[in-house]
Structure 1
Amino acid sequence: MRRRSVPRSATPDTAGDAAARALLAREGRAGRRRQAAPVLLGLAAALCGIAQAWLIARLLAALLAPLLGNPAGAAGWPELLGAALLALLQAGLGVAQDRAQLAAGIAARARLRGAVFARLLADGPADERPVGERATLAVDRVEALDGYFARYRPAAALALLVPALVAAAAALADPVSGAALAVAGLLVPVALALTGIGAAQASARQFEALQRLSGRFLDRMRGLPTLVLFNRQEAEAGSLGRAATELRLRTMRVLRVAFLSGVAQELLAALALVCLAIHHGAEFRAGGGDLAAALFTLLLVPAFFAPLRAFSAAYQERLAARGAAAALAPLLDAPVEAGGLVLEEVPPRVVLSVQDVHLRYDPARPPALDGVSFRVMPGETLVLAGPSGSGKTSLLRVLLGFRRPDSGRIAINGKDATLLAPAELRRLSSYVGQRAHLFRDTLRANIRLARPEATDAEVEAAAEAARVMEFAAALPAGLDTLVGEGGYGLSGGQAQRVAIARAFLRDAPLLLLDEPTAHLDPGTEAEVLESLRRLCLGRTAIVATHSRAARATLGRVLELSAGRVVPVARAAG
C-alpha cells in the first residue's frame, strides 16, 4: 500500500462573521486573476469618459462663448468626432467588462459548488442535515455568492481607483473642484455605513428563512402522499404560506436598506454638483474663470459618482454573500480527516476482525458501540441481530468509513483498517440498504452505477444473478426501460433486486447489508433472500436485520443490545 496525503482545511473560527470573511477572502484570492480583467476594463472605460468629457467641454465652451460675449472658440468637428469615437469605445469596453464579470462569477460559483459537493459526498450519511438544507447549500447559497465575485469585488476596486483618477483630472483643470469631488467621495462610505447598519444581519436572517422554506418545501413534497392520507395538506399549505410570508418580509427589509443607500448616494451627487456650480458661478461673477474648465469639472461629476453608485449597488451583494458564506463556512472549513493508505489492488478475499470497538456520537448519550468484538472469515455470513438502537447501523457506518471508532481495532487481512482512507474502505465493500434508491434512468444505467466501466454483458449477468431479468423481461424495453425518480414504477422487491444486482456487478470481497428485506412481504422476502444467499457465496458478508427468516437462513447470528455483544447462553452439559 502507498500513502496518500490529503490537505487539511483551516479550522473554522468560532464567530460566524469571521468564518464568513475568511471564506470570502480565500475565494477572492483564488479568483484574483479573473477579477482583474473587469477592473482593467473599467479603468480603460473611465479614461475614455474623462477624455470624452474634456472634448465635450471644449465643444460646449466654443458654442457658448458668443452668448457670453467672448470670442468663439476653436473647437468644432474634430472634438465632436473624437467624442463620438470615445463613446463607442467606452460602450465596447462596458460590454467587455460585463462579460469579464460574468466569467468571474461563473468561475467562482463552479469552484465553490465543486467544493461543496465534494464535502457533502465525503461526509455522506454522517451529515445529518435534512436533504432540503443540503440542496440549499449547494444551489442557493453558492448562487448568492455570484454577485460578490462578479460585481462587488471589481466594483470595490473601481470605487477606489476611478474616483481618484477623476478627481485628479478635475484638479488639473480646477484644484477647488478636484478637492470638492474628493470630499464628496469620502462621504460615500459614511453614508453606506449609516444606511447599512444591521443590513448584514438582515441578509443572514433572509437566507435562514429561505433555507427553512426550501427544506420544508422539499420534505413536504416528498411526503405529500402521507400528508394527503392524514388530511394534513391544508395545514401544511398554511405553514408553507407563513414561511413564505416570513421570507417576503425579510427580503423587503434587505431591499429597504438598498433603497436608502441609493437615496444617500444620489443626494451626495446632487450636493457635489450644486457646490461646483456655485463655485464656478462665483468665479464668473468675479470676472474670472475658465468656461471649458468649469464645464469639464461639471461633466466629470457623473463619471466620478458612477463607480460609487455601482459599488453602492454591489454592496448589497456583499451583504447577501456574507449571509451565504456564514452558512457555507462550517461545511467548507470543517477539518478534513488526515489522508490514509491507498490499496494498490482490492484483495479477492478478506478476513474481517473487529476487536473492542467503541463509538459515541454525543457525550451526553450512551455509546452506540461499547466494546464490540467479532471475526468473519471469507465465505462466511454474520447476521447482526438486535432491537433498534442496538448498534447495528453504527457498526456498518464504521466499516464503510463514514465514522471513525473512538477506540478499538478493525483489521482486514490482519492489517489495521482504520489506517485506510475512508474511500478505500468503500472500495473493498458492496452495500445494500433498506430501500434501494433508483435514479430517473434506465434499469441498465441504475445497475451500471456500481461499476460504470462494466460492459452490457456484465450488467446483464448481474441482473440475471439478482433475478432482475424475471420482471425486466416483461417491461417494454427490458433493461433499457426508463424508471422514475426513486424507482417509481417498480415494486419495493423489484427495486431491492436492482440494488442486489449492483452488488453483484461491483463484485467486492466485503458485503454489508442493512435490513435488506425490510418492508417486504413474506413471499417477496423469500425471493430476495434467495438472491442474497447467492450474493454472499465466497464473500465476507455482514447482514444487519430484524428478519427472523434472514436470521434462520443466512448464517451465524451475533446478538447486539445497547451497543454490546450479548453473550450466547451455553446449554448445561
Structure 2
Amino acid sequence: MDSPSATRDGAARALLRRESRALRRQVLLPILLGLGALVVAIAGAWLVARLLAALLGHGGAGWPELAAAAALALLGAGLALAQERAQLAAGEAARARLRDAAFARLLETGPADQTGVGDRASLVVDRVEAMDGYFARWIPAAALAMAGPALVVAAVTWADVGSGVVLAIAGVLYPVAMALTGIGAAQASRRQFEALGRLSGRFLDRMRGLPTLVLFNRQEGEAVALGEAATELRRHTMKVLRVAFLSGTALELLSAGVLACLAWRHRALLGGGADPTAALFSLLLVPAFFAPLRGFAAAYQDRLSAAGAAAALAPLLAEGPVPGLLLEEMPPRVVVTFTDLRLSYDPARPPALDGLSFRASAGETLVLAGPSGAGKSSVLRILMGFARPDAGRVSINGQDAMALQPAELRRLSAYVGQHPHLFRATLRENIRFARPEATPEQVEAAARAAHVLDFAEGLPQGLDTLVGEGGWGLSGGQAQRVALARAFLRDAPLVLLDEPTAHLDPGTESQVIESLQRLCLGRTAIIASHSGARARLGRVLEIEAGRALGTPRAAQG
C-alpha cells in the first residue's frame, strides 16, 4: 500500500502533467523563442570569433561581419524580450486556469467543505500564485536545458571536436551535481508550503475574529502564536533556499572548470601562428552553453514551489465536474417528496436523517420543527445540493432530484439563512446579487415586498447606501429583510428558510413573518424553525433524531 506521502506526490505530479498538456501551446512559444535566441547567439559568436581572428592577423573579416554581428545582437535582444513576454503570458494563463478551476470547485462544494476560510483563501491565492513559475519559467527552462546545450555542443564540435567533447562531458556532469544538491528538496518545499498555509489560514481566521480576541484579552497570546508560525515558515524557507544556493555554486564551479580546460587545450593556438577562429569560437560559446543550464538552475526553485503547491491543490482539483442532468426549463410549481431518507456525516455519530419521509405539495408551506440537531438543516442542505443522501429517494415533481446537477437544484430554490451574509456594497447591489440581470424597478419591488424600504428611505442615500462587510451598519432584522428581498427578487418556485426569525425582537419578528407569508404565497416552501410563531407559517412537521413524529399539523390562524 502506498504511503500518504507517495499518494500526495503522485496526485501532485498528475495535476502538473494535466495542466502542462492543457497549456502546451502557451509554454511552447517561449521554448521556440529561446531556441531562436540561442541560434542567433551561436551565429554571432562565430562572426565575433572571425573578427577577433582578423585583429590577430588571420582571415579577412571586416565591416560586413561587424555589421552582421551587430544586427544579430539586436535580433537576439529582441528574441529575449519576446521570450520573457511569452513566459509572462504563459504564467498568467496558468494562474487564470487554475484559479478558475479551484474557485469553481469551492463553489460546487459550498458549505459542505469544512476547510477553514483561511485555508481556502490560501489555496486560491498563495498556492495558485506559486504555480506561476512552473509554467512561466520551469517548463521552458527544462526544455531549453536539454536542447540548448546539445545545439551548442554540435556547433562547437563542427569547429573543434575536442572542445565539443569537453562541453559534452560537462553536460553529463551537471545532472549529477543537481541530483547531489537537490536530494530532499521537494520534501523541504512541501513543508515550506504547509507552513505558509498554516500561517496564512491562522492569520485570516484571527483577523476575522479580532473583536473576540480583544474582548477576551487574547491579542498578545495570538501575536506570539503568529510569531512562532512565522518563525517556522522562515526556517523551512531557508532550507529551500540553501538548496538553490548549492545548485548555483555547483554550476559556477563546473563552468569555471570548462573554461580552464578549453583555455589549456587551445593555449598553443592562441599563442602561435595557427588560425585561432575555432579556439575563440569554442571559448565564446561557453557562456551560451551554460546559459540554459543557469536558467534551469534558477527555475528549479519554481519547480519545488509548484510541487508543494500542487500537493495542496490536487485533492481539490482531482475530481472532475459533478455529473448530473440539466433542467430543460424552470418548472412554475414543484412538489417535494422525501421517502425513507437516510444521511450520515460521520459513521462514528448517529445519522442526521434516519428514515425521514414527508411530502410538500405545490404551493404549500411546510415547517420542519424540532430541537437542535433533529435534522432540519440537513433537509435544506440536500435540497440545495450540498449533501447527498446515503439511502432513500428525494423527488421533485415525481423525478429523482439527485439526478440533477447540484447547481440545477440551487436554481430551483431561493434560500434565506439564519445569518445572511451581506457584502461590502450598497443595499441595491446586495439585493441584486440574487439576480444580476434584474432591472432597477424589479430590485425596488423586491425591497418593498421585504420591507427594506421602510428603513432604507431614512438612510442618507436610500438603497444606494453603502453597507459594511458582513452587514456592518445594519441591525440583525434589517439584514434579514435584505436577505428576504433577495429571495423575492430570485422568484424561484421553491423557498428554503433556515430559522428566518431567530434572534429577532417580537416587533421585527412579526414584520418578517408577514414578509415570509407573502414570499411563500403560491410557492412551495420548506422552513426549518423552532420559533414560537412557526405555526403561523404553515403545516408543522415535528422531527426528532432524523425521523418524523406523527403527521404534519395544519397551520393555525
For 1:481 and 1:47, how far apart are their aligned partners in 2?
A: 62
What residue in structure 1 maps to residue 453 of structure 2? 469
Amino acid at match of 1:353: T
1:127 and 2:113 aligned: yes
What is the DSSP-based 3-state SS (H/G/I as helix, E as strand, rest coil) of the residue aligned with 2:266? helix
Distance 2:473 2:307 in 1: 44
CA contact (8 A) 1:515 1:546 kept: yes
Secondary structure at the counterpart of residue 322 of structure 1? helix
Pair 1:303-2:288 in alignment? yes
Could you say which residue in structure 2 is the equivalent of 1:528?
512
Matching residue's letter, 2:98 = L
Q: Structure 1's 270 and 431: CA in aligned 2 closer, same or farther, altered over 3 A? A: same
1-side partners of 2:190 and 2:164: how far apart? 39
Q: CA deviation at 1:142?
A: 0.9
C-alpha deviation, 1:337, in angstroms: 3.4
Following the alignment from structure 2 to structure 1, what is the Cα–Cα distance between the partners of residues 309 and 266? 48
Shift of 1:444: 1.0
3-state SS of 1:383 partner: strand
* Cα 1:393–1:112 shift into 2, 3 Å: same
User: Secondary structure at the residue paired with 1:467?
Assistant: coil
Q: Which residue of 1 aligns with 2:80?
A: 94
Note the C-alpha offset of 1:282: 5.4
Residue 129 of structure 1: how far off its partner (Å): 0.9
Matched, 1:140 2:118: no
Q: What is the number of equivalent residue pairs in this alignment? A: 550
Provide, for residues 450-480 of structure 1, a one-character-per-residue CA deviation record: whole Å limited to 9, x for no partner: 1122111111111011000000001111111
Report sequence identity in percent. Answer: 72
Gaps of 5+ in 2: none
Higher deviation after alignment, 94-103 or 375-384: 375-384
Residue in structure 2 matched with residue 403 of structure 1 by the alignment: 387
Specify the alignment match of 1:3 in structure 2. Answer: none
The 8 Å contact of residues 280 and 289 in structure 1, kept in 2 or not, is answered as no
**CA shift in 2, pair 1:106/1:385, >3 Å:** same
What residue in structure 1 maps to residue 436 of structure 2? 452
Distance in 2 of aligned mates of 1:108 and 1:289: 54
Residue 25 of structure 2 corresponds to residue 33 of structure 1: yes
SS at match of 2:15: helix
Name the counterpart of 1:345.
Answer: 329
Q: Equivalents in 1 of 2:73, 2:6: separation in Å? A: 51
What code does the residue aligned with 2:315 have?
P
Among residues 224, 238, 262, which one is paired with 1:238 in the alignment? Answer: 224
SS where residue 411 of structure 1 aligns?
strand
* TM-score, scaled to structure 1: 0.93
1:472 maps to a residue whose letter is A
Superposition deviation, residue 294 in structure 1: 0.8
The answer as to whether partners of 1:105 and 1:147 remain within 8 angstroms in 2 is yes
With the length of structure 2 as denominator, give the TM-score of the two structures. Answer: 0.95
Residue 303 of structure 2 corresponds to 318
The match for 1:258 among 209, 224, 244 is 244
Separation of aligned partners in 2, 1:214 and 1:62 = 62
- Highest relative contact order (Cα 8 Å, sep 6+), 1 or 2? 1
**Distance apart, 1:156 and its partner CA:** 0.8
Q: Residue 33 of structure 2: SS of its match in structure 1?
A: helix
Q: Does the 8 A contact of 1:19 with 1:326 survive in 2?
A: yes
Maintained 8 Å contact 1:20/1:325? yes
Aligned AA (2:413): S
- Counterparts in 2 of 1:86 and 1:312: CA distance versus 1, 3 Å: same
Task: Report the Cα distance in structure 2 between the residues aligned to 1:568 and 1:356, rounded to whole angstroms.
Answer: 15
Equivalent position of 2:366 in the other structure = 382
Work out which of the residue numbers 408, 415, 420 in structure 2 matches 1:436: 420
1:83 paired with 2:75, answer no
Q: Which residue of 1 aligns with 2:346?
A: 362
Query: Please, which of 49, 54, 63 is the counterpart of residue 46 of structure 2?
Result: 54
RMSD: 1.9
Cα deviations by residue, 1:131-179 (Å, 9 ceiling, x for unpaired): 1111111111111111000111111111111111111111111101001
Deviations along 1:368-394, whole A, 9 cap, x unmatched?
A: 111001111233222222222221111
Name the counterpart of 2:479.
Answer: 495
CA distance in 2, matches of 1:433, 1:544: 10
Matched, 1:517 2:501: yes
Which of residues 19, 23, 27 in structure 1 aligns to 2:15?
Answer: 23
Identify the residue that residue 215 of structure 1 maps to in structure 2.
201
Aligned mates of 1:520, 1:383 — CA distance in 2: 18
| Cross-structure match for 2:234 | 248
In structure 2, distance between residues paired with 1:251 and 1:275: 37
State the alpha-carbon separation in 2 of the partners of residues 93 and 343 from structure 1. 51
1:557 is matched with 540
- Check whether the contact 2:270–2:279 (CA below 8 A) recurs between aligned residues: no
Q: Alignment partner for residue 319 of structure 2, among 329, 334, 341?
A: 334
SS at match of 1:74: coil
Aligned counterparts of 2:5 and 2:445: Cα–Cα separation in 1:
52
* CA distance in 2 between partners of 1:17 and 1:368 (Å): 35
- Which residue identity is paired with 2:11? A
Q: Is the 8 A contact 1:13 1:19 kept in 2?
A: no
What is the deviation of 1:519? 2.9
Corresponding residue number in structure 2 for 1:68: none
Aligned to 2:490: 506
Tell me the SS of whatever aligns to 1:372: strand
- Segment drifting more, 531-540 vs 505-514: 531-540
Q: Which amino acid aligns with 2:454?
A: E
TM-aligned CA distance change 1:284 to 1:424, over 3 Å: closer
**1:471-527, Cα deviation, whole Å (9 max, x unpaired):** 000111111112122112111111110000011111111111112122323332222
Contact residue 429 and residue 509 of structure 1 kept, 8 A? yes
